[in-house]
């Protein structure tokens, strides 16, 4: 039998696959449809609710032509209802502003719902040097 961490890790992998593919529909399928939702992109103000969160991903994808992300899990915990995964994102991207690469620390929170594990929070910040 799979553990809650296994289910959340599979949802986390789907999140990063959708992110790399710049696929708004796929990213939306990872996120919960139930409020409250929270998303904090590096350098952004906190975004609350599905409308703001999905609009942010659409904006990121609209201005990005290439994205590569490797998520290295550092810590994880949870139970059969809520799981959080924390780690480092190694990001390479290209878009209207040019090319960039860097490291970001991220915490992703997933809640078990009737249709599986769904993201309810994503918080990413520049990694400390």
Tell me: the pLDDT tens digits for 64-122?
999 999 999 999 999 999 999 999 999 999 988 889 999 999 999 999 999 999 999 99
In terms of residue numbers, what domain contains 56? 4-126
Query: Measured between alpha carbons, how far is 94 from 74 in angstroms, rounded to an integer?
Result: 26
Q: How far is CA 110 from the centre of its chain?
A: 10
Query: Measured between alpha carbons, how far is 33 from 5 in angstroms, rounded to an integer?
Result: 21
Query: Measured between alpha carbons, how far is 22 from 64 in angstroms, rounded to an integer?
Result: 8
Q: Can you read off the two tokens belonging to residue 100? A: 């960039």
Tell me: the pLDDT tens digits for 16-28?
999 999 999 999 9
Number of domains in the chain: 1
Query: CA nearest 85: which of 15, 16, 12?
Result: 12
- Taking the CA atoms of 119, 92, 55 and 18 in sequence, report the sign of the dihedral they define: negative
**For position 4, what pLDDT does the model report?**
87
Tell me: the pLDDT tens digits for 36-49?
999 999 999 999 99
Query: Measured between alpha carbons, how far is 90 from 69 in angstroms, rounded to an integer?
Result: 6
Residue 48 maps to which CATH number?
3.10.450.50
> Which phi-psi region, left, alpha or beta, contains residue 41 (left: φ > 0; alpha: ψ -120 to 50)?
beta
């Amino acid at each position: 039998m799979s553990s809650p961490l296994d289910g959340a890790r599979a949802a986390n992998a789907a999140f990063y696959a959708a992110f790399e593919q710049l696929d708004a529909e796929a990213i939306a399928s990872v996120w919960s449809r139930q409020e409250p939702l929270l998303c904090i992109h590096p350098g952004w103000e906190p975004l609350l609710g599905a409308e703001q969160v999905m609009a942010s991903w659409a904006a990121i994808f609209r201005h990005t032509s290439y994205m590569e992300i490797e998520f290295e899990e550092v810590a994880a915990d949870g139970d059969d209802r809520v799981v959080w995964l924390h780690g480092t994102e190694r990001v390479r991207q290209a878009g209207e502003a040019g090319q960039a690469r860097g490291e970001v620390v991220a915490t992703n929170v997933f809640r078990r719902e009737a249709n599986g594990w769904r993201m309810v929070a994503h918080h990413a910040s520049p990694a400390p040097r």
